């Protein structure tokens, strides 16, 4: 799909997903939701270590394309936004959002479901649903509450005003807010650091972080992933490399 580009870095370790609808401020159509959701439901290939979600143009994402809201598909059952956010949250490997500009409405909700958000310091992030007479889905609002804390969640959702990225970074809500000139290099630094880590460990930790609270749901999948890490050759290689003061050579097993 022309409005979503999916590429891979040369060695296959990093997948790049780009919103490419700058003339509409990267507002998400139903077709774009489908492509993005399917991209995060797909099983990563063995070489992959991380995904970068980014956008073309001055705005990261202006939210849902309101021109399609009248079709009703956005509001019936689990909305496309809920499905996409759930897919990103449960994706087996880390997801890094690179915000070169404002992330509004669905754009902000998507960013907050990524593992790392790195933004231009001048970018603004927030959800103006309340100002439009709307409300984010229950599951998304609760996830935002857990991610940003009660006071900031109320400000974001009940006031509906956008918050500067540098303020969110200072509050440890997002990973970093940097100058526009530094954004690409900071994203590359974080992604390269992720890519050097053991793949089984990345999967086990991501599964643990994405799981519901222990008392609310079984966690057999995350527990099994942790067990595989403990028994893996990569775990032995990591310890040995640290002792020998060299970079580990992880094989994914």
At residue 76, the pLDDT reads: 45
Tell whether 115 and 169 lie within a shared domain: yes
Tell whether 205 and 131 lie within a shared domain: no
The residue segments making up the domain with residue 223 are 198-244
Q: What letter does residue 63 receive in the DSSP assignment?
A: -
At residue 140, the pLDDT reads: 87
Tell whether 165 and 221 lie within a shared domain: no
Tell whether 76 and 181 lie within a shared domain: yes
Tell whether 81 and 150 lie within a shared domain: yes
Is residue 252 situated within a structural domain? no
pLDDT per residue as tens digits for the range 106-119: 999 999 999 999 99
Tell whether 230 and 162 lie within a shared domain: no
| pLDDT under 50: residue ranges of the chain | 70-76, 214-215
pLDDT per residue as tens digits for the range 70-123: 444 444 456 899 999 999 999 999 999 999 999 999 999 999 999 999 999 999
Q: How far apart are CA 163 and CA 161, in angstroms?
A: 7
Tell whether 133 and 33 lie within a shared domain: yes
Tell whether 188 and 203 lie within a shared domain: no
Tell whether 129 and 219 lie within a shared domain: no
Is residue 75 situated within a structural domain? yes
Tell whether 221 and 132 lie within a shared domain: no
Is residue 114 situated within a structural domain? yes
Structural contact between residues 139 and 146, judged by C-beta atoms closer than 8 angstroms: no
- The domain tally of the chain equals 2
At residue 157, the pLDDT reads: 93
Tell whether 50 and 154 lie within a shared domain: yes
- DSSP-based three-state secondary structure for 154: helix
- Measure Cα distances from 32 to 29, 39, 64, 163, 228 in Å: 5, 11, 10, 26, 36
The most distant pair of C-alpha atoms in the chain lies apart, rounded to whole Å, by 62
Question: What is the phi/psi pair of residue 139, to 5°?
Answer: -60, -35
At residue 73, the pLDDT reads: 41
Tell whether 28 and 142 lie within a shared domain: yes
Could you tell me where the beta strands, DSSP code E, fall in 91-156? 95-99, 103-104, 116-120, 124-126
- Flag whether the pTM goes above 0.85: yes
What angle in degrees, to the nearest 10, is found between the helix axes of 220-230 and 233-244?
Answer: 50
Please spell the DSSP secondary structure of 159-228, one letter per residue: I---EEHHHHHHTTSSSEEE-GGGHHHHHHHHHHHHHTS-HHHHHHHHHHHHSPPTTTS--HHHHHHHHH
**CA-based angle 156:158:160, to the nearest 5?**
55
- Measure Cα distances from 41 to 36, 57, 86, 100 in Å: 9, 26, 9, 25
> Which strands make up the sheet holding 116-120, listed edge to edge?
4-8, 14-19, 50-55, 95-99, 116-120, 176-178
Q: How far apart are CA 166 and CA 178, in angstroms?
A: 8
Length of the chain: 253
- Short-list 177, 105, 175, 182, CA closest to 144: 105
At residue 75, the pLDDT reads: 43
The torsion angle over the Cα atoms of residues 112, 113, 115 and 119, rounded to 10 degrees, is -30
Is residue 77 situated within a structural domain? yes
Is residue 253 situated within a structural domain? no
């Amino acid at each position: 799909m022309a409005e979503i580009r999916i590429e891979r870095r040369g060695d296959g370790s990093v997948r790049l997903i780009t919103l490419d609808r700058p003339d509409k401020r990267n507002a998400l159509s139903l077709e774009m939701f489908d492509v993005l959701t399917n991209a995060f439901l797909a099983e990563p290939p063995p070489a992959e270590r991380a995904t970068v979600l980014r956008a073309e143009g001055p705005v990261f994402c202006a939210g849902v394309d309101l021109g399609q809201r009248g079709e009703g598909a956005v509001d019936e059952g689990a909305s496309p936004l809920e499905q996409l956010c759930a897919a990103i949250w449960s994706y087996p490997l880390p997801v890094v959002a690179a915000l070169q500009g404002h992330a509004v409405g669905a754009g902000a909700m998507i960013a907050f479901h990524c593992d790392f958000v790195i933004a231009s310091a001048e970018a603004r992030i927030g959800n103006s649903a309340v100002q439009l007479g709307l409300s984010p889905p229950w599951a998304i609002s609760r996830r935002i509450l857990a991610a940003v804390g009660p006071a900031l969640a109320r400000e974001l959702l009940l006031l509906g005003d956008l918050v500067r990225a540098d303020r969110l970074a200072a509050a440890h809500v997002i990973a970093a807010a940097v100058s526009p000139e530094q954004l690409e290099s900071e994203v590359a630094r974080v992604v390269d650091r992720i890519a050097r880590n053991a793949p089984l460990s990345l999967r086990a930790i991501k599964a643990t972080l994405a799981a519901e609270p222990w008392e609310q749901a079984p966690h057999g999948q995350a527990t099994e992933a942790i067990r595989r890490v403990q028994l893996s050759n990569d775990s032995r290689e990591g310890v040995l490399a640290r002792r020998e003061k060299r970079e580990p050579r992880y094989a994914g097993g």
